[in-house]
Chains A and B, each alone.
Chain A
Amino acid sequence: MKRRLLCVGLLALTVACGLAFGTGAHAAKDRVVVAFGSNIATLDPHMHSSRLAHIADYHLYDTLLYRSPKDNYKPGPGLATSWKSLNPTTWELKLRQGVKFHNGEPFNAEAVKFTIDRVLDPATKSVTRGNFTWIKEVKVVDENTVQLITAKPFPAAPEFLTLAYIVPPKYLKSIGNDEFSRKPVGTGPYKYVEWKKAEHLIVEANPDYWKDSPKGMPKIKTIIFRTIPETTTQIAELLSGGVDIIRNVPPDQIGVIKDSAGARISATKILRVNSLMLDSAGRASTTPLTNQKVREAIAYAINVDEMLKTILSGYAERTATGVNPLHFGFDPSIKPYPFDPERAKKLLAEAGYPNGFEILFSTYSGSITSVDQMADAITGYLAKVGIKAKRRHIEDVGLWTKMGQEGKMEGIQYYSWGSNSIFDADAILYALNYSKEPLSYTKDPALDQLLDEGRTSIDPKQRQEAYAKAQKLMHEKAYWIPINVQYTIEGVNKKLNYEAGSDEMMRVYGASWKD
């Protein structure tokens, strides 16, 4: 009897599996499934700083200015058709006419004022408030014109306006913040349909989307953003056709996807730059790093090209100056230090360290692709010229940032900076190298002066020159050792027209199926 039971059970299982065959995995042409590594916390664009939630926001809402990949991610027209600075502390925006929110509410100057006032109001508890604190007041000039009054001249205003998601005042006031975060209404190319927090967010093409949008009219009816925490599971889903796009493919899994029948890799460089930050100012403690020759020696000692080729499978790019080629102000004429361990040893001897020295080398979790392997390689290269890097790994990003801000990061830090999605050299050089900034371990009055000039000037040519000089200075003094510009590596269904974006956004609204 037992045997019979077992047989029946096995048979049932086989039949069940047979039935399941073919029902699951075939992607329908009217929808695209995107895998997210973690849950979205809220659909209110002002209540999070999460990349994934921003991607969802990008489909549901529109921003005042928009970065189009076609225009090299420069701030371009979005809900605002034009913007100009009337005087050093006033920006005037002309707004697009005839745009409606998904609920029919009109988009106008009132909506812009309401949105910015809402974010700035401390009672809202918005975590994106810091992106707008440069605005002192929003003035409604007429139905389609607003003026932004700033406390100080703020040339980076257009950059920050690309983060200004506009929300509908009437709807939001009628349902309140909590309900809004669950049932969002925007002007975007896709409309909210269903959100099961742990499972998926479903959005549907907005048939009344405004024409001339740089995002284009949506071509695929439904987008499903699915939460799949495990990378391996995401890859399995991609290979089996259960999902069409996955993010953050680990470099060692690229081959698996490339060799598969149904999927391909889409990769492109992003704003994130990874560098070794050296405590050249001796801020945390006096170490050999205050000596320029020692810093140069470190730059010569590390074979960065080899690391990028082997560990990152070539999905990375060098930058000699630590500024990203995508940043305004990048100077391509400066070449990176070549790999020359003999020269490194000679420089160390000249600096008075013929037998090398020991130094703390800190790393943290997150942001840097293959951080452990990369840090291992760096440690190895340093050891070959006699520098013994004592490794310290900090798991908690909060603690990492706090220690950095409090000046407790002695020695070398493996730092990563995303520039807050601002495509300007100021966004990385100022925060990490201006002597008075909390995260800076560089102290150079000449550099400060150049960074000040770049920050306050409105003339692009003058800014470009200031940043070129700043980069040259930083390179010569080897204040930091830039390792690489990071890539975003996505796995994509071969039948889907879609490419990864340099601003780490996913523009699934622009995707379409090949015939």
Chain B
Amino acid sequence: MSTYILKRLGEAVLVCFGISLITFLLLHVAGDPVQLLLSIEAKAEDAAILRKSLGLDQPLFVQYGIFLKGLLRLDFGNSLFIREPALNLVMERFPATVQLTAAGMVIALVIAIPLGVVAAIRRYSILDNLCTALAVSGQAMPIFWLGLMLIIFFAVQVRWLPASGRGTVWHLLMPAFTLGASLAPITMRMTRSKMLDILSADYIRTARAKGLREQIVLFRHALRNASIPIVTILGLQFGRLLGGAIVTEAVFAWPGLGTLALSAIRNFDYPLAQACILSMAFIIVIVNLGVDVLVGWLDPRVRFD
């Protein structure tokens, strides 16, 4: 198992390297931060002086070489706008994003698993159809729209919750629900279809035949087996969740990695954008690795070699 993890970590490094090259090229092709740092009224000479002092007058491959050299020491360089080490800025924002995505994940599971199970047990009932309708509309709903609707209702109309920001648990409720709602539909559908498969399996019939209580049949035998593909799906969806976090963070002014990445990209703040994107990529790789390991633990049939 440890050789497997090491091998996967090696792959992760390669993936991150590839991502660094692609983002570096894309960002440098996209635009010039110097004009944004200066005001639009600034003179060309001032721009040239600034460009030189930031090292942006060097050829692209030299800049990439310098970047890679720093990367080996986990040094992404200083943010062009904030003028602080980019990695520090990322680490500052990291907890907020972890909190939001974790809460979003929990909410998604809390909504999706019970509904999925109920829909499977009461197949083709009104309840099942309702769940299907809910899942379809949930999947079709853009995250930012849901977020804004929640704000308008809970913050402006009834004034129960603060509209934006981070601080108390009340601040977390709406953004976490918004994010969770984006992940819940697919999880619910997956739970339902796996439960349906399993409920018609032989060992469930056996369990029932030997007189086990229905609750034990459902939760100890069926749901436990259904959890394996659900965990896999959650792992695969994690990237989408982080992407959704960017939108959610912007709508709710949540001070996380997503808004940081967004502003870094908008400003062509190369070092900061690199640090944001690479750390997100790294998280996704690690989560996927974690999911694989978890699936192995849940399902003894999976072997690592």
A314 CA to B117 CA, complexed, in Å: 57
CB contacts (< 8 Å) of B250 on chain A: these are: 229-230
CB contacts (< 8 Å) of B159 on chain A: these are: 21-22, 24-25, 240-241
Interface 9-mer from A104-112, A191-199, A275-283? A191-199
Q: Which A residue sits closest to B250, measured CB to CB?
A: A229
- CB contact between A230 and one of B162, B251, B255 (< 8 Å): that residue: B251
A130 CA to B154 CA, complexed, in Å: 48
Whether A130 touches B32, Cβ cut-off 8 Å, given contacts A24-B161, A199-B166, is: no
CB contacts (< 8 Å) of A198 on chain B: these are: 92-93, 96, 255-256, 259-260
Task: Give the contacts of B229-267 with A (CB-CB under 8 A).
Answer: 250-253, 255-256, 259-260, 262-263
Residue pair B161, A5 in contact (C-beta under 8 Å): no
Counting chain B CB atoms within 10 Å of each CB, the highest count among A133, A196, A197, A367 belongs to: A197
Whether A236 touches B260, Cβ cut-off 8 Å, given contacts A5-B114, A197-B89, A398-B33, is: no
Mark each residue of chain A from 226 to 253: 1 if its CB lies under 8 Å from any CB of chain B, else 0: 1111101100110111100000000000
Whether A236 touches B83, Cβ cut-off 8 Å, given contacts A25-B162, A396-B30, is: no
Whether B49 is near chain A, meaning CB under 8 Å from some CB there, is yes
Whether A20 is near chain B, meaning CB under 8 Å from some CB there, is yes
Whether A199 touches B165, Cβ cut-off 8 Å, given contacts A49-B37, A122-B53, is: yes
Whether A380 is near chain B, meaning CB under 8 Å from some CB there, is no
Task: Give the contacts of A399-417 with B (CB-CB under 8 A).
Answer: 399, 401-402, 405, 417
CB contacts (< 8 Å) of B38 on chain A: these are: 49, 127, 130
Residue pair A39, B160 in contact (C-beta under 8 Å): no
Whether A130 touches B165, Cβ cut-off 8 Å, given contacts A21-B160, A233-B252, is: no
A181 CA to B118 CA, complexed, in Å: 57
Whether A151 is near chain B, meaning CB under 8 Å from some CB there, is no
Whether A226 touches B161, Cβ cut-off 8 Å, given contacts A16-B170, A42-B83, A401-B35, is: no
Residue pair A41, B36 in contact (C-beta under 8 Å): no
Residue pair A236, B82 in contact (C-beta under 8 Å): no
Residue pair B37, A236 in contact (C-beta under 8 Å): no
A25 CA to B164 CA, complexed, in Å: 11
CB contacts (< 8 Å) of A514 on chain B: these are: none
Residue pair A236, B41 in contact (C-beta under 8 Å): no
Whether A129 touches B160, Cβ cut-off 8 Å, given contacts A41-B83, A197-B82, A398-B31, is: no
CB contacts (< 8 Å) of A233 on chain B: these are: 148, 151, 163-164, 251-253
Mark each residue of chain B from 14 to 54: 1 if its CB lies under 8 Å from any CB of chain A, else 0: 00000000000000001111111111111110100110011
Whether B76 is near chain A, meaning CB under 8 Å from some CB there, is no
- CB contact between B253 and one of A125, A178, A227 (< 8 Å): that residue: A227
Residue pair A398, B170 in contact (C-beta under 8 Å): no
Whether B155 is near chain A, meaning CB under 8 Å from some CB there, is yes
Residue pair A17, B83 in contact (C-beta under 8 Å): no
CB distance from A154 to the nearest CB of B (A): 15
Residue pair A41, B33 in contact (C-beta under 8 Å): no
Residue pair A197, B92 in contact (C-beta under 8 Å): yes
Residue pair B160, A20 in contact (C-beta under 8 Å): yes
Q: Which B residue sits closest to A256, measured CB to CB?
A: B156
CB contacts (< 8 Å) of B34 on chain A: these are: 398
CB contacts (< 8 Å) of B163 on chain A: these are: 233, 236-237, 240, 242
CB distance from A248 to the nearest CB of B (A): 15
Residue pair B46, A236 in contact (C-beta under 8 Å): no
Counting chain A CB atoms within 10 Å of each CB, the highest count among B84, B114, B156 belongs to: B156
CB contacts (< 8 Å) of A21 on chain B: these are: 158-160
Mark each residue of chain B from 72 to 95: 1 if its CB lies under 8 Å from any CB of chain A, else 0: 000000010111100001001100
Whether B110 is near chain A, meaning CB under 8 Å from some CB there, is yes
CB distance from B276 to the nearest CB of A (A): 12
Whether B270 is near chain A, meaning CB under 8 Å from some CB there, is no
Residue pair B83, A181 in contact (C-beta under 8 Å): yes
Task: Give the contacts of B147-203 with A (CB-CB under 8 A).
Answer: 148, 151-152, 154-156, 158-166, 169-170, 173
A28 CA to B92 CA, complexed, in Å: 29
Task: Give the contacts of A378-424 with B (CB-CB under 8 A).
Answer: 396-399, 401-402, 405, 417-420
A228 CA to B83 CA, complexed, in Å: 22
A103 CA to B288 CA, complexed, in Å: 52
Task: Give the contacts of B204-248 with A (CB-CB under 8 A).
Answer: 215
- CB contact between A240 and one of B114, B155, B259 (< 8 Å): that residue: B155
A106 CA to B81 CA, complexed, in Å: 31
Whether A176 is near chain B, meaning CB under 8 Å from some CB there, is no
Whether A349 is near chain B, meaning CB under 8 Å from some CB there, is no
CB contacts (< 8 Å) of B161 on chain A: these are: 17, 20, 24
Whether A431 is near chain B, meaning CB under 8 Å from some CB there, is yes
A419 CA to B41 CA, complexed, in Å: 7
Whether A38 is near chain B, meaning CB under 8 Å from some CB there, is yes
Mark each residue of chain A from 431 to 453: 1 if its CB lies under 8 Å from any CB of chain B, else 0: 10000001000000000000000
> What are the 8 closest A-B residue pairs judged by CB atoms, nearest first?
A198-B255, A398-B35, A398-B32, A228-B253, A130-B46, A17-B160, A49-B39, A41-B81
Q: A-side interface residues toward B, CB under 8 Å?
A: 1-2, 5-6, 9, 16-18, 20-25, 38-39, 41-42, 47-49, 122, 125, 127, 129-130, 133, 178, 181, 196-199, 226-230, 232-233, 236-237, 239-242, 367, 396-399, 401-402, 405, 417-420, 431, 438
22 contacts between A and B (CB under 8 A): A1-B215, A20-B161, A24-B159, A39-B263, A47-B83, A49-B39, A125-B50, A127-B38, A127-B50, A197-B255, A198-B259, A227-B255, A229-B259, A229-B263, A236-B163, A240-B162, A241-B159, A242-B165, A396-B31, A397-B36, A397-B40, A438-B44
Extra inter-chain contacts (14) besides given A239-B156, A367-B40, CB under 8 Å: A2-B118, A17-B161, A49-B39, A197-B255, A198-B96, A199-B255, A228-B164, A230-B251, A232-B151, A232-B251, A236-B148, A396-B31, A401-B40, A420-B41
